[in-house]
Structure 1
């Protein structure tokens, strides 16, 4: 009799119990999603924690030139001016990207190796960039989904501006395809710069007819005339080394102003150089 009453009560409250069960499932899924989101954010923060914790400059430049008007294509070119800074930079290609002789419009970002080592964006096909191969005229790249039909295993070519047509172009092998919602190291603007979130952009906010193409500076430098293909451009972090003096900071502020240029390749104003006793 008791069992029959219990079964009858269960039948009566079936909808209520089903509703409670659904609530528990939804709560669990929300918790899992929140934990996953927090893990993603922590991974992004941890990748560049040592940089965002330091004092220094966060530059987003069209093209970076030295005070004597040389195009910067390597951090070493700045060391003489910024000896008390660590430099982490991105670069653009000085050349035309083609697929079977058809020009390709892409947002090309070339990374210093520490960026590649620090953060791996979500890849839906293939793999992330690896250490550069020496002695080849082929470089690796990871590309976002695109309207050109460029996929895993495809080969593009980089043609240096002004180079003779018979010269061998650099081959670009597509080794990975970014996920549709992947975030990659670049820049996103906000009112309060700098936060680690400002160091990332999203594939989902890009254009399929101008996909982001990610490459390694070391990989390009190892090709024939590779240094001629690069311009320091985009996100550049100048962080001050421990023990830097106030005098050196003033000088670096001056030099940084000289380096920063607009997209028209014009160096911004020339302030009066701070006096230095040891330079």
Structure 2
């Protein structure tokens, strides 16, 4: 078996100068449907109001913030998540001067739900195969920069050799339909084995993992074929295809449409 890991990490930089303010905790892990309390204090009273903000700005439908002003030097802050997954910064500072405030780094997440295959895998141009999966929590994590991992384990049928190169590419993240599309290149050009299984494991860091075994048998081939059209008469023409680029026999069908400026073949 071949184990492949795709890894994304959180990068933290200190953008805020620590001065008269303190914020506890300065790092927190929050479940996506829970509430956590923070305490912002001043070492000495500067007669300035507290300014509380979140970076990035998040819709109140997904994350709410409540403030409880205790006195001139202390304020309680409550962060309530309603399904948000991602990373954010809570900033406590004097009004109109965030540069001398303090920051808490917060990771909000959950255990990812089951991965589902959105559609069968499709080979493109006889060069690579793409498979689409439905995984809302992982899509949200990627979109909001939550640290995540993907592991891919090729399950061999009749050979111990790898059928695909070491790691797939994440080529598309669809936030609307909550899908991810991965692209694999075969070890042997033009060879896409039938019945091959791939274990996909998605992990939200600090939380949990979900697994799915995908059947990578291609359901179809999407091919861009070079061709020329030779007009023999007003009712007859010949289509000449360039087959040199393809190592496998292929069966396809399509339609031919004529335009004043170009002639095109749309393959299905």
User: Do both share a fold (TM > 0.5)?
Assistant: no
By percentage of residues, which structure has more strand?
A: 2
RCO higher in structure (CA 8 A, sep ≥6): 1
TM-score by length of 2: 0.23
Q: With the length of structure 1 as denominator, give the TM-score of the two structures.
A: 0.22
Which protein is richer in helix relative to its size?
1
